[in-house]
Chain A
Amino acid sequence: MVNDVRKHEDPKPTAALRRPDAGAHAAGVGRSSGRAGRPSVRRAAPHQSVIGWLFVLPALAFFCVFVVYPLITAVQYSFYRWNGIGASTWVGVDNYVRVFTDPELLISIVNALVLIVFFTVIPVASGLALATLIRTMRPGPFATFARTVLFLPQIIPLVAAGIAWSWMYAQTGTINTMLDSVGLGLLSRSWLAGFGTALPAVGLIGSWVLTGLCTILLLTGIGKIDASLYEAARLDGAGWWREFATVTLPGLRQEIVVLVTITVIAALSSFDIIYTTTKGGPGTSTLVPGISIFRLAFTQSEVGLASAFGIILLALVLLAVLPIQLLGRERD
């Protein structure tokens, strides 16, 4: 399986997000000497710049109209009390204060942080374990089948995943049937309806979706680690754990940074799975920022408050993601 994946990997410089300047450096490697003697703007001809800007403008226009402008508008809305139709009142930072003082909204943020365990910690940890265990697997029909199945949750819409799992968790659903059949019927319950079980239950759906992605990406990463390092570790008499800690883990640093980044973003901005399974309930036990923003804006007509929460969500994502990027860049 390792070889199978390795065969198809792309040698291109990657990871634009984790290393914002990676492209320029990586691409420069092969021809840096050629470029060194030239001015940094290689094509001095002015018409080239004009053509270049003409090429960028359409993309930039769509980006500005549907991302930058809405973002600025959201900031503007966030300082007003507005029901979406009538007049709006300037309230300063009141909406931001409300997000952090309203217990229901605060719980959304706490729940999103808890979901990081299920969207990030579990998938990355099980991906690491699984990838380490199957790294020596030979390519073949079974390896291909395994890879196809592991990726399946990435292909189907999260809404469908939510519906499938609602049935897993239902009173007469798959999990309870299986518990009954092994004599653990006492444990059976409506998992998504219990205050204590709902959040872990929706969290595990995230684990289900993301574990395959983590496994395959980490396997690809292991494939890139120099095999002689493993040989050396074995010759030195390193056990499974030593080998994992001294060869595999350091070698996968970049992959882990990437996975932590995307899964943390997925946890903080989760919406589809929760909207289809619990809509935030029971009570507030599975509320997340996405659901709160949706509710505030489109059912409770609190557009200003919802916008402030949106900006806070964006800040949370940046707060979580930027340190991870710096951590990943340290070694380069």
Chain B
Amino acid sequence: MVVNKTEAIIGRVVLVLVLILTLLPLAGMLSGALQPADRIPDGFSWPSDPQWGNFVVAFQTAHVWELLGSSTLIILGVVPLSLLLSTLAGYALGNLRIPGGRFVFVLLLLGLTIPFEAIIIPIYYEISAMGLLNTQWAIILPLIGLYMPFGVVWMRAHFVGVPTELSEAARIDGASTFQEIRRIQIPLAMPALSALAILLFLWTWNQFLLPLVLVDDPDKRTMAGALGAFQGQYLNQLPLLFAGALIIMLPTIVIYVIFQRQFIKALLQGAVKG
């Protein structure tokens, strides 16, 4: 490929500028988090006496252990069940092509466009009627339903691409539907499944509106939902808020940096499909 030298240099310079802009807000938050907790932090500079202790204080006052437990519980409730139900439905719609499946598919596609805000009010009264307000179930159950359009559409797109000859060969060898799914379809679907798992994990961890509306106790929320509650609580101790926010972001950032290839791949495909 012909590479124009000036263009290449301009490209590098612009890219570096964009990278700095991307990191600046996070760096600013870190510098703020290291300033004395009881003062309004001052400016953007490396503090002369960095208060690493702020992180310890924030860790304790933000009940990070409880939060990690709550988020893990919610994720364990949402992700495996969503994966299972999406896979079954995606297989039926994409591979078995059941009669009436087209209607279900179009219904789910329309479901993809619904902003959560449009239906959060009835969900509130529904969860309230079920007596589940202020429990993790109030986040888990609706999220499974809200993620279902994406999950099924995603898995269907995978199963539509699997040659039917595979199923037929398995059938000729005497495999039942369940054996075929377990031994042939699931192993083939692993890349699609793990990408979906990554997306669901991320969206659940970062979910804000549902916890805000449905769960009052920050300790029973997702990480992002709890962070919203700290904001009011730490108005006079901004460095602690920043430290808390950084702690809450840390687990996903660490996982992201380790698995960044898979994360980016999943997010790109998620963008294309979602």
Contact = CB atoms under 8 A, between A and B. Distances in A.
Contacts of A146: 15, 19
Interface string A147-180: 1111111111111110111011000111001100
A258 interface: yes
A261 B91 CA distance: 27
B64 interface: no
Interface in A178-211: 178, 208, 211
A104 interface: no
The size class of the interface chain B forms with chain A is 35 or more
Contact of A16 (B4, B118, B157): B157
Interface in B1-37: 1-4, 7-8, 10-12, 14-15, 18-19, 21-26, 28-29, 31-32
Given A159-B208, A160-B248, A164-B26, A67 B145 contact: yes
B193 interface: no
A168 B252 contact: no
B39 to A, nearest CB: 10
B111 interface: yes
A36 interface: no
Q: Interface SS of chain B: helix, strand, loop or mixed?
A: helix
Q: Interface SS of chain A: helix, strand, loop or mixed?
A: helix
B187 interface: no
A16 B109 contact: yes
A65 B115 contact: no
Nearest to A292: B117
B98 A56 contact: yes
Contact of A27 (B3, B161, B256, B263): B161
B257 interface: yes
A42 B101 CA distance: 13
Contacts of A10: 191, 265, 269
CB-based closest 9 A-B pairs: A66-B145, A52-B98, A133-B11, A157-B224, A269-B115, A59-B89, A70-B122, A73-B122, A174-B28
Given A56-B104, A136-B11, 8 more contacts: A58-B85, A67-B148, A130-B15, A136-B7, A151-B267, A213-B271, A310-B115, A310-B118
